[in-house]
Amino acid sequence: MPMLTIKAQIHATPETERVLRDAMFCATKVYNGLMWHLRRQQEQTGRVSVRRSNLNRILKTLPRAKGYYSMSAQLTRDEVRQAWRSFFALRKNGRTKHNAPGFRPRGFLSPLRYVQSGFTVAGDRVTLSLGKWREDGVRQITFRISHRPDLKYERVRELSITYDKSSERLEARLVVEVLPRENHGEGRVAVDVGETVLLAAVFADGVALLYSGRLIKAIRRYWQKVRAKVKPPSRDAPHRSRRYSEIAHKERRQVEHLLHIVTAHFIRECIRRGVKEIAIGDLRNIRQEIAYGDRLNQRLHNWAYRKVINMLRYKAALAGIVVHADVDERGTSRTCHACGSERKSNRIHRGFYRCGCGWTAQADVNGALNIYERAFQVSPTKGSSGRVARPMVLSFQLGWHTVHEPERKHLRASA
């Protein structure tokens, strides 16, 4: 059964919210307490043991560990282990100048994580256990959550309470099991994710769909102008500016909204065309290739790219479609789909790929065709005679013309 992570808003009384924040603050104290003890061990003995037995021993000595659910405290312990492990890996590669992983800032609200036990979700009501030993005697709390109404799930596997910096609110994240729609299709499609063309998809019958990235660029440009008018309070840490993070927040909301529309439309098309498998080129391979710098510049920046992939993954999962998001994308944009040559002379002009062999195609369609062939070992456009057919290209434009700053209350309502 596919698992999805969903975000939900928390609706709690001020008293419940106070208790939640206090429990999260306890988690920070526990995190820093474990960190402090480990650092001291390191100073005294020159070594650190991040074994669970060592950490559990320290955990017992930390009074704040009793401020929240014991299994959640163990998950905080695992976060500390993870921090050290990442640190060891960085140090091994000489990529850090620090002696130990850092502490969490004062007043930081650490996530409260629940796996398997300590929580129940009944409809929109969530009950969390806080353990038996809190000083104020509160053992459990109940509050309401709300999330996107179109999501139906079978079971909640994990739940975390996190603090969202941009909205300054507590949020719930639920890992849920969803019942996928039955899918008897056998079709395949390959997808290339880019900036000018947000999604280029080719189906097995040689039909290509192009989703323009023009509106996303327009949103970027608009907020870039707004940003230019705001003076950062500190040159060294512009992200600390409240207005800056508000701008980033709004920009992301608008981009996300568009990405939802595009990916939802695309998945509907997949269902209509009987698709069972989606292949997506994996960018991680490209990042190491300096030669593809031009291509990277054409890319959506990392955040939006990850969003698109995640949306495709979960929308596909709901539709019973399998996603292969690990197709090696290297060379797919420069290689001629017809003759397979990859030469510098295969220039891209005005979004069109041209090869000396006579093949011409929209550049992203050419890339998607190569991803298709790499993933499925067959090309949608190559006939048995070796002739290559031109794909039929359909373009989609979103009917979303205005880019404006929505009112605050609207933002909240759509959160």
Binding site for Zn ion (CB under 5 A): 336, 338-339, 355, 357, 359
Q: Quick one: 304 or 355, whose CB is closer to Zn ion?
A: 355
Q: Quick one: 292 or 359, whose CB is closer to Zn ion?
A: 359
CB of 331 to Zn ion, least distance (A): 13
- Return the structure tokens found at 354: 């041209």
* Residue 87 CA: distances (Å) to CA of 31, 81, 84, 141, 160: 15, 10, 5, 36, 24
CB of 413 to Zn ion, least distance (A): 52
* Residue 232 CA: distances (Å) to CA of 165, 173, 221: 18, 32, 18
Radius of gyration of the chain (CA): 25
Q: Quick one: 339 or 415, whose CB is closer to Zn ion?
A: 339
d(CA 128, CA 163): 16
260 and 311 Cβ atoms separated by less than 8 Å: yes
CB of 355 to Zn ion, least distance (A): 3
Interstrand relation of 119-122 and 112-115 (parallel, antiparallel or unpaired): unpaired
d(CA 102, CA 84): 9
Q: Quick one: 311 or 338, whose CB is closer to Zn ion?
A: 338
Q: Quick one: 25 or 353, whose CB is closer to Zn ion?
A: 353
CB of 359 to Zn ion, least distance (A): 5
Residues with Cβ within 8 Å of 258's Cβ and at least 6 positions away in sequence, in order, are 215, 216, 219, 398, 400
CB of 157 to Zn ion, least distance (A): 49
CB of 173 to Zn ion, least distance (A): 48
Q: Quick one: 10 or 339, whose CB is closer to Zn ion?
A: 339
